[in-house]
Amino acid sequence: MTDAILHVAGLTRRFGSVLANDDVSLHVRPGDVVGLLGHNGAGKTTLVSQLVGLLRPHAGTIQIGETDAVADPAAARRHVALQPQAQAPIDGLTPRQAIELASRIRGLTARDSRAAATRLADELDLGPWLDRRALPEGGGLSGGIRRLTSFAMAVAAPMPLLVLDEPTNDIDAARRRLLWDAVRRRGDEGSGVLVVTHNVAEAERIVDDLVVLHHGRVVAAGSPARLRGTQDNDLRLDLQLQPDGQDPTAQPQTVPVTVRRRVRAGRRVLLTVPTAQAATAVTWATTLRDQEHIDGFALGPVTLEDTYLALTTQPRDTGSEHIQEASHV
């Protein structure tokens, strides 16, 4: 993969008996936004830490541009901007000062740094907070504004590779949309972007490719359309169970539609059903709701979230199970 800005192959990292990264391979090309998905503890931050030289792999290679990042992490870091998962330590600074400082560290002139801060404040709707000081113990600025500032610091100067570790945490819905658009823009401007997120539904809108980690291993990779992997004429029936209520899909013989995939996650049951059976599905779900067997339901297009839950939700997980095979009664 010679044209990739990031090329990871066979990456393995243990913590004692925990295999946090198990033979992980992935690549990011210039201009591509790649989402890295996975449950808590799947190994995402461990991977990111190795990319930027904070952890040494036990096996495997990391190439950033032409540089071997394992042999020469300092040289590799010159091509990477990281937004870490932890909040940036900006107490005592305003977002404007923090962004300008990050720009200067990346080699921008004072004038260009000032322009970068103004442009990013506009792009992320940070204006009202731009000159408000961050105070110790979370004072002065909210967690969301601190997170946006941290993102702005990471992207203040253009870099060949951008690594963002959960950039949307704590951020309200309106600014999350601005942030995702800003991430996409960095890809469109030529950076390779690797973005760690739990937010499957929002990431799906802007990424070119996704990599799904599960217990340290890559269990799926490809474009959202490819990972969705269902036939275009499938729909998702989302049943909201009642608290402590029975799961009406637990007995497949009582389900009157073809179920191509069933995922149970907490009080939700997601059924992938053929579009041709939409009317039957709605009639059945309406009856279940009217008889108070479920709280409600929604019928809509299959999303990546369904696939993601099916890949990462296992029968042994408490309250969760999935059935991949079609069942029809």
Ligand X SMILES: Nc1ncnc2c1ncn2[C@@H]1O[C@H](COP(=O)(O)OP(=O)(O)OP(=O)(O)O)[C@@H](O)[C@H]1O
List interacting residues with ligand X (CB under 6 A): 15, 18, 20, 38, 40-46
C-alpha–C-alpha distance, residues 13 and 185, integer Å: 32
Question: Residue 97 carries which DSSP code?
Answer: H
Q: Which is nearer to ligand X, 31 or 84 (CB)?
A: 84
59-64 and 18-28 beta bridge pairing = unpaired
Minimum Å distance from CB 57 to ligand X?
Answer: 13
Minimum Å distance from CB 170 to ligand X?
Answer: 14
Neighbouring CB atoms inside 10 A of 223's CB total 12
C-alpha–C-alpha distance, residues 62 and 10, integer Å: 9
Minimum Å distance from CB 37 to ligand X?
Answer: 9
Minimum Å distance from CB 231 to ligand X?
Answer: 31
- In contact, 185 and 120? CB cutoff 8 Å: no
Q: Which is nearer to ligand X, 45 or 199 (CB)?
A: 45
C-alpha–C-alpha distance, residues 263 and 285, integer Å: 16
Q: Which is nearer to ligand X, 39 or 96 (CB)?
A: 39
Give residues with Cβ within 8 angstroms of 210, minimum separation 6. Answer: 34, 35, 36, 37, 203, 204, 220, 221, 222, 223, 224, 227, 304
Minimum Å distance from CB 21 to ligand X?
Answer: 8
Q: Which is nearer to ligand X, 20 or 304 (CB)?
A: 20
Q: Which is nearer to ligand X, 10 or 256 (CB)?
A: 10
Q: Which is nearer to ligand X, 50 or 277 (CB)?
A: 50
- Helices (H), ranges, the chain: 44-51, 73-77, 95-105, 110-123, 143-155, 173-188, 200-204, 224-228, 278-290, 304-312
Minimum Å distance from CB 289 to ligand X?
Answer: 34
